[in-house]
Chains A and B, each alone.
Chain A
Amino acid sequence: MFYNPYIVFFSCNHPSSTFFPLSRLFYRYRDLAPQLVPLDYTGQPDVRLPYELIGSMPELKDNPFRQRIAEVFSEDGEGNMTLDDFLDMFSVLSEMAPRDLKAYYAFKIYDFNNDDFLCKSDLEKTLNKLTRNELTEEEVRMVCDKVIDEADLDNDGRLSLEDFQHMIVRAPDFLSTFHIRI
């Protein structure tokens, strides 16, 4: 969140004014559960919205990876998000975020088993989520083999963060697709 002074500004609890877009984000967060989220955040309340509320937001509800997104950005790793987590999430996914930052978080999102590597099972899960299980097993296997073939630079049969970053920064569509507008 450091790259955007406004985000920093807000999270340090300076009074918000109508210029700063962050007040809008706060109200979106609050609208998910008005009875849980207080208007006054000066006391640093420990409020965590459960994953079900986050996952039903219109921006996320059709995304096949919404669960993973919530898990990656939440403090507890279960998808239950505090306001800070919420702001983090939308910062990284906004237009302004730098490419490297997005690549880092994309890697974490697609790493289903959280072992810091994209192994075959991670790739298979990603593919099945993308195609809603329409491809045959043979086809899935073939695609995953090809992906590892293409991107694995250190030949360990799985993609590390470096492999992933090396591949994704060259992708022409990455910045425009890994983007949520709120």
Chain B
Amino acid sequence: DTDSNADSEEESMSEGEMERLKEEVEEKKKIIATMRNKPWRMKRRECQAFVDKFEGALGKGKGKKFYAYKVMMTKKWIKFQRDFENFKTTCIPWERKIKEVESHFGSSVASYFIFLRWMYGMNMVLFGLTFGLVVIPEVLMGLPYGSIPRKTVPRAEQATAQDYSVLMDFNGYCKYSVLFYGYYNNQRTIGLLKFRLPLSYLMVGVGTFGYSLMVVIRTMAKNADVGGGDGDEGEFTFSWKMFTSWDYLIGNAETADNKYASITTSFKESIVDEQENQKDENIHLRRFLRVLANLMIICCLGGSGYLIFFVVKRSQEFANRDDLSWYEKNELELIMSLLGLVCPPLFETIAELEEYHPRIALKWQLGRIFALFLGNLYTFLFALFDEVNNKLEEEKSIRNASIWALKEYYANFTLHNNDSEATAPPIDPADVIRGPCWETAVGIEFVKLTVSDIQVTYLTILIGDFARAVIVRFLNYCWCWDLEATYPSYGEFDISGNVLGLVFNQGMIWMGAFYAPGLVGINVLRLLSSMYYQCWAVMATNVPHERVFKASKSNNFYMGLLLLILFLSLLPVVYTIMTLPPSFDCGPFSGKAKMFDVIMETIDLDLPAFLGTLFSYAANPGLIIPAVLLMVGDNEQYQHMSAVPVCFCVDEVSAKWHHAYSPVTPVT
């Protein structure tokens, strides 16, 4: 690095001096090249000779202060860069927590938390979009509560609107608040700024999907770029682990403890990988067993699918009867929960026949439970669409009824008022006959589902993990067999269950966010509290898996599942925007024939005339199909390009492993 110092000096000196310096640098290089290969301590005589020879560079004579200043600045710059890197790493939220989990439980468990953090980031952006562009404008610039029918609790419900049980069901005051679609007014522009709320609502709804799609694909591209292979295919895996894993910068006992744990875990993971490679057994037997296992599982899935179908049919029949027992009323939920509880452990047991590497076995397990949960999803959507169709029918009759009631009201008024000049005061908003507002009903269903999902997850952790750990720990003193070593022992962290829970939950959010803008906010709170709660639960009540295995280098498997769910949740929303008529008296699209008419209206009224004709030409299928194909082609290419780094990136985390620990602070 003396060379680099000499180089920087060159720029500020004259030609002659540069030549002289170049010569000196060459000589220095030669000496250093020879000395480099023989590390030995120099005695004082040789020191003196060295110093005399390189007076200028070492600080004697002219240029001493300037040169030393330059070197000091270079050092400060290097230090600043290092500190900035450390600062950037400390800015990543929950980094320390996740490192701690990783050091004790391995990278596969930590990958769940990294995924959770990534989801939190994405949901924060969606929250910002929704609240900033939809909720806040309506609250600030729209009409207040109680001014128009859609924003007021109907007279009949006002008595119970504040009851806790009603609020928990998201009726009462909850239903007529910014949380749900029905609250929003269909005024084309609101406030001084002429903010176009209906257009914004539609754009945010579509933009949510667009942004999520972009972020998921970008993360997948980035992961695929950075060595997305499974397992560590280094030439010197074990050697490097042995000689470069201890971070000499560690000067804190707790950090050192974590580091010992993580090194041990890391070695164990690599040992598992190595043992898998060394296994060589009867290939034919293994193949046969795997085919057998897959057949059994397909039978299970088919059976559960049919069971769900059968139960849904029965529940439709039950809806028409009144004399139902408790079991019959809750049959659908019971069967679904039972399937959700029984099938995953069943799949795990069958999967033991297959003898896959734990990482691969996890993927198969995830795929199978995913297929099972799709059945749940199908049921839910089926029931929902039934309800929507019923409400649409109801709406037709109510719409006629409300128009008729209004005419009646005015007729009565002129009848009872002798003064024919006076106009009737408007009907109190609470008394107006309301339509069924199917969008709000759908929104309520999604919010209820999300909330009950949160409750079930938290309760499961509390009982299944925490209570179990407490019982095992304290009952062990007075029990016949060793509770800790054998059954039931402490729980292991269920990676597949949690990841799928997260993915499906996000699917629900995507589907429901269009009908209940407040849902994204609820989800952000849920993810935030989940992070802390689950981190605590894992450290306090779980034990590491018996066979600790390394997560695959990329999170692309989870991302792939997420992408699939994204497309599945896109379809119902697009269908409703394109086909179903919006309610006539609630929501930002009331009064229109279809929801996307808002865009047509905006193009006609707000944009210059020529753009309107341009759009009508562009809507030609002959242009759209090639454009779509081009975009798909672009994405394929994108997968191979390096992408802009996303904040919450798996690989950055693993690469900055050492720098997460605090550098030793000097004593002086």
Chain A residues engaging chain B, CB cutoff 8 angstroms: 1-3, 5, 8-9, 11-14, 19, 21, 24, 27-28, 31, 58-59, 61-65, 84, 88, 93, 95-96, 98, 100-101, 104, 106, 110, 123, 126-127, 130-132, 134-135, 139, 142-143, 146-147, 150-151, 164, 167-168, 170-171, 173-174, 176-182
Contact = CB atoms under 8 A, between A and B. Distances in A.
Given A9-B58, A62-B252, A150 B664 contact: no
B528 to A, nearest CB: 33
Nearest to B38: A2
B668 interface: yes
A152 to B, nearest CB: 10
Contact of A123 (B36, B242, B663): B242
Residue among B47, B237, B255, B658 facing the most chain A CB atoms (10 A cut-off): B47
Nearest to B260: A132
B39 interface: yes
Contacts of B664: 58-59, 180-182
Contacts of B271: 139, 142-143
B246 A64 contact: yes
Given A171-B240, A177-B244, 8 more contacts: A5-B2, A12-B51, A14-B51, A28-B668, A62-B255, A135-B268, A171-B243, A178-B248
Given A131-B267, A147-B242, A2 B35 contact: yes
Task: Tell me the dominant secondary structure on chain B's binding face.
Answer: helix
A61 B251 contact: yes
B242 A62 contact: no
A126 B58 contact: no
Contacts of A168: 239, 243-244
A130 B263 contact: yes
Contact of B248 (A14, A63, A98): A63
A12 B237 contact: no
Interface in B24-72: 32, 35-37, 39, 41-42, 44, 47-48, 50-51, 54, 57-59, 68, 72
Contacts of B264: 131-132, 134-135
A11 B42 CA distance: 9
Contacts of B44: 12-13
B668 A167 contact: no
B310 interface: no
A181 B68 CA distance: 21
B608 interface: no
B48 A12 contact: yes
A146 to B, nearest CB: 4
Given A8-B51, A12-B44, A27-B668, A130 B245 contact: yes
A181 to B, nearest CB: 6
Contacts of B268: 135, 139
A95 B612 CA distance: 64
A170 to B, nearest CB: 7
B236 A179 contact: no
The 8 closest A-B pairs by CB, nearest first: A12-B47, A62-B256, A146-B238, A131-B264, A173-B244, A134-B264, A171-B240, A151-B239
Given A98-B36, A151-B239, A58 B667 contact: yes
Given A9-B58, A106-B243, A130-B246, A1 B667 contact: no
